[in-house]
Amino acid sequence: MKLIELRRDIHKNPELGNAEFRTTGVIEKFLRQDGIIVRRPAKTGVVALITGTKKGAGPSRSIALRADIDALPITEKTNKPYRSRAAGVMHACGHDANTSMVAGAALLLARRKNEFSGTVKCIFQPNEEAAGGALGMIRAGVLKNPVPDCIVGIHVNPWLKTGTLGVKAGAMMAAVDRFTIEITGARSHGAYPHLGKDSIVIAAQVIQSLQSVVARQIDPVDPAVVTVGTIHGGEAFNVLAGSVTITGTVRTLNHKLRRDIARMMERHVAMIVKAYGANYRFSYEALGQPLENSPKVLALCRRAGGAVLGKKNIREIEKPSMGGEDFSEYLRYVPGCFVFMGARLRVPHPWHSERFDIDERALAKGAAVLEEIALSYLS
């Protein structure tokens, strides 16, 4: 019951990435009631440590549980009594629920300290949506003192039946990259194209060609997406555009393909631009890592999930998502696994919808699964 109250409190008062000041305070207060030691590694976000008191035989181990705490710039359109009170901000991804599940697990584990040895580190991370939150926490030292041996991230899923746990072997979410291409041709009168270098015609060929990188140069069973999101250029209907800027995103599921695709894209741009005697600038930024689950931590999640929810309620997620999730940043340092807690309503709405909501019965189940994951790892 407590978890539903906590979730509704956070849901009613959503805050955007890196501005989760109230949310941070609410989490701290919730955890302190059971004497859990909390600290604030950055401006917002919380790290809680629960140390077991059982005499361990071997060296003491440590496991991290991670939730995200930020909301989105969306105006809520549900008529629930706990709907957002903050104009234009909403927990439309369910991070309020993720927070409640990890906070619930922290409380449960604090009460069973004498049953395990080692440490559970609960990470409540800011700013997942705009990316950079996980990286900020890592830089602030959340993976030190103690260094966790593994990490588990949990996220509510509006499509999975309440009480089921969604798991996925291997690659689960994509790397998120951004590219910018600036094409510089030469202006001239629209009636005399041979006197200029038309950046718009060049850009059109570049865009077609970028699509053929995926269609013709990449193994079709290795998923990749190249999306051009913006194109800007030109000043007047009768003037050749002097320059065009194109931006877009690339999604891949592994590091090698990610490097290859960036190289192939630039090669296409360079050849086309050269054919017209124009110039270009190509920049490619890695915004997020691909999320790949560790087989060992996945097995731990499957076992613990099955023990709490029943084996038949462990659902294998068939396809990876080309969306990103910055939980992947932790996986560069620590093996881990990301799992989905089913929280389906009679009429589900997708993540990031203004009508997004969850079945709150999932909160206690998610907390119990995380509790079991930590307990079975540390005892």
Residues that bind Zn ion (CB under 5 A): 93
Nearer to Zn ion, 93 or 122 (CB): 93
Least distance from Zn ion to the Cβ atom of residue 177, Å:
18
Query: Could you tell me if 297 and 61 are in contact, meaning their C-beta atoms sit under 8 angstroms apart?
Result: no
Sole residue written with tokens 């269609």: 215
Least distance from Zn ion to the Cβ atom of residue 92, Å:
7
Nearer to Zn ion, 93 or 151 (CB): 93
Least distance from Zn ion to the Cβ atom of residue 336, Å:
16
Tokens of 292: 């790949």
Taking CB atoms, the residue at the shortest distance from Zn ion is 93
Tell me how far CA of residue 102 lies from CA of 16, 75, 105, 123, in angstroms.
Answer: 20, 26, 5, 8
Least distance from Zn ion to the Cβ atom of residue 95, Å:
6
Nearer to Zn ion, 6 or 257 (CB): 6
Nearer to Zn ion, 64 or 93 (CB): 93
- Cα separation, 192 vs 190, in Å, equals 6
Nearer to Zn ion, 282 or 356 (CB): 356
Q: Which of 364, 341, 335, 339 is nearest to 61 (CA)?
A: 335
- Cα separation, 160 vs 317, in Å, equals 10
Least distance from Zn ion to the Cβ atom of residue 285, Å:
20
Least distance from Zn ion to the Cβ atom of residue 267, Å:
34
Least distance from Zn ion to the Cβ atom of residue 352, Å:
6
Least distance from Zn ion to the Cβ atom of residue 259, Å:
27
Nearer to Zn ion, 6 or 93 (CB): 93
Nearer to Zn ion, 93 or 341 (CB): 93
Nearer to Zn ion, 25 or 350 (CB): 350
